[in-house]
Structure 1
Amino acid sequence: MEEVPQKRSKDRPEALADRVYHRLKNDIFDFRLMPGDRFSESEVAERMDVSRTPVRQALFRLEREGYVDVWFRSGWQVRQFDFAYFEELYDLRTVLECEAVKRLCHLPADQTAALLMPLTCFWIDEPRLEEGMAVSLHDEAFHIALVTAAGNSEMARIHRELTEKIRIIRRLDFTREDRISATYNEHARILRAILHQHSEEAQRILTSHIAVSRAEVRKITIHMLQQARLAPE
């Protein structure tokens, strides 16, 4: 990689570190780097055609977020999945989203309808998507939008951080066609219950919806992760 004079861009090192960070994070999320995989800073630097400095900065950032561990004598390792930790995150997710649903059901009906109109259009009115990764992204957006619509910005912030932490494992819930169909059906039922201000019913459907995803998490194995990595994009 051709060296760029420092005077041309003082932000160049930070930009490189940010690029390396996002590439490594995508490698972990897409299972090109598997739980337990070990690698060195030099290997990453060579593959990404950068120096070791931005690689090290990116890796320490990923370590703070809980995605990798550093072994000072033997390089870095993608952190093994802690399923108990993920289940705790799912518990918190359920609490936050049920509270959001409760608040939405107590708003004036016309206000709730306006807030949820984009979700209603996508999950009820429009033709269904079939590609799992695309549905996964829209699923995340659905749950984030529910919490955001409830109007508590701090609750929404915590929920977004939570969503980021479980994304790595949540994506596997959309590798099966039946789960894609179920997601559409359950989201539609949640929306209709909220729009009719049936708070308890909406919370019940939502809790069940999250519990099914949580059960899928319990069944994930390294073999399944390998299959997800090899699946066509």
Structure 2
Amino acid sequence: MGRSQTLRQNTINQFIDCINNKILSFPLPSISILAEAFNVSRTTIRAVLEHLCKKQILLFNNNEYHLLREPTNEDKIVCIFEKRSVQDKKFETYFYHLINHKKLLPGDNFNEIQLAKDTKVNPVVVREFLLRFLHYGLINNIKKGEWELVTFAKDYAEKLYEFRSVLEIFALKAFMAQPDNHFNWIKARELLQRHKNFQKNIQDEYTLFSTLDRDFHKLILSCNDNPFFMQSFDLISVIFHFHYQWDNSNLKERNNIAVSEHIAVLTAILQKNEQAAIAALCRHLNTAKTSMQESIGRALAIKNR
């Protein structure tokens, strides 16, 4: 199959998904606007529209394209995208990359069709991923297919801290109750050593802290084997940690403090001292909350200048 034919078939499937998810409005905008939205040529869009008219999904009347019927999955062309699980992981990684590398900042607008094109995934994958963040107030849906990354109010950090504390303290108690031969104890020892190695090289590697931070909190929460915990963790991790990345002020110092606090928690865990581990975790979560509040304050001060 030629590259142009593959692109055309991918675009047909994306177009169908956009119709079903009410991303497109009718009558359709001009071919030029559609070509720009789907990041393809006008020739490709014309071929897509022609195909959908033949399938009696669209009707061309008075120089406008109208919706004749709702498309179904049977209207799609088979074997275009990768498996759904692969697409989900690919887009999640890409979205986190955009935030972590400051390609997507608070207040920025972005288009879900363009994101789907950039990552070569189904637009439904993008929309469902973004809807998860919508519930947590991380993004706003401006209009069909258009989103905005939110700039938080200062009390947001306090509310998120309360929720995070409940989750992680509960999970830590469950972690401490695991049998001595559980594999998580080995993971904790390995993670402690990784932190100590990172601390030695933090002058040069402090910007790489995000992976270590994610692994630390993930280890604590994963012992419950609770999918709701892990879903919440993904969102909280992005909101808390990447606010550090948006604000470079004292980033090295803040990450250095966070590493030391992680080490204190892990050390207490491995000593089987539950009270000390919970106290150390509470200190760490409070530090993270304070850092986020200060970061939000600086961002708002800049915005209001």
Q: Distance in 1 between matches of 2:175 and 2:95?
A: 38
- 1:218 Cα offset (Å): 0.9
Distance 1:10 1:82, change over 3 A: farther
Q: Distance in 2 between matches of 1:12 and 1:106?
A: 43
The residue identity in structure 1 corresponding to 2:167 is L
Q: Distance in 1 between matches of 2:129 and 2:197?
A: 41
Q: Distance in 2 between matches of 1:143 and 1:201?
A: 17
Aligned with residue 34 of structure 1, among 105, 116, 126: 105
After superposition, the C-alpha distances for 1:179-212 in whole angstroms (9 at most, x for unaligned) are 2222222222212212222211111111011100
Structure 1 length normalisation: TM-score? 0.70
- 1:48 Cα offset (Å): 3.8
Q: Matched residue pairs, number? A: 219
- 1:160 Cα offset (Å): 2.3
Q: What residue in structure 1 maps to residue 262 of structure 2? A: 187
Q: What residue in structure 1 maps to residue 194 of structure 2? A: 122
Structure 2 length normalisation: TM-score? 0.56
Distance 1:110 1:121, change over 3 A: farther
The residue identity in structure 1 corresponding to 2:105 is M
Q: What residue in structure 2 maps to residue 78 of structure 1? A: 149
Q: Distance in 2 between matches of 1:17 and 1:180?
A: 32
More helix by share: 1
Q: What residue in structure 2 maps to residue 139 of structure 1? A: 213
Distance 1:210 1:123, change over 3 A: same
Residue 153 (str. 1) matches residue 225 (str. 2): yes
Contact 1:20 1:54 in 2 (8 A): no
The residue identity in structure 2 corresponding to 1:58 is V
Distance 1:45 1:204, change over 3 A: closer
Percent of aligned pairs with the same amino acid: 21
Q: What secondary structure sits across from 2:107 in the alignment? A: coil
Contact 1:194 1:202 in 2 (8 A): yes
Name structure 1 gaps, 5 residues minimum: 228-233
Q: What secondary structure sits across from 1:2 in the alignment? A: helix
After superposition, the C-alpha distances for 1:116-152 in whole angstroms (9 at most, x for unaligned) are 222232124676342233212111101111232xx32
Distance 1:79 1:99, change over 3 A: same
Larger Rg: 2
Which is bigger in relative contact order (C-alpha 8 A, separation at least 6)? 1
Q: Distance in 2 between matches of 1:115 and 1:40?
A: 39
The residue identity in structure 2 corresponding to 1:135 is F
Contact 1:20 1:48 in 2 (8 A): no
Q: Distance in 1 between matches of 2:196 and 2:96?
A: 33
Q: Distance in 1 between matches of 2:278 and 2:229?
A: 17
Alignment RMSD, CA only? 4.0
Aligned with residue 209 of structure 1, among 255, 265, 284: 284
Contact 1:68 1:79 in 2 (8 A): yes
Contact 1:129 1:135 in 2 (8 A): no
Q: What residue in structure 2 maps to residue 103 of structure 1? A: 174
After superposition, the C-alpha distances for 1:54-80 in whole angstroms (9 at most, x for unaligned) are 557624641443144333389433334
Q: Distance in 2 between matches of 1:61 and 1:107?
A: 33
Aligned with residue 4 of structure 2, among 2, 14, 17: 2
Q: What secondary structure sits across from 1:70 in the alignment? A: strand
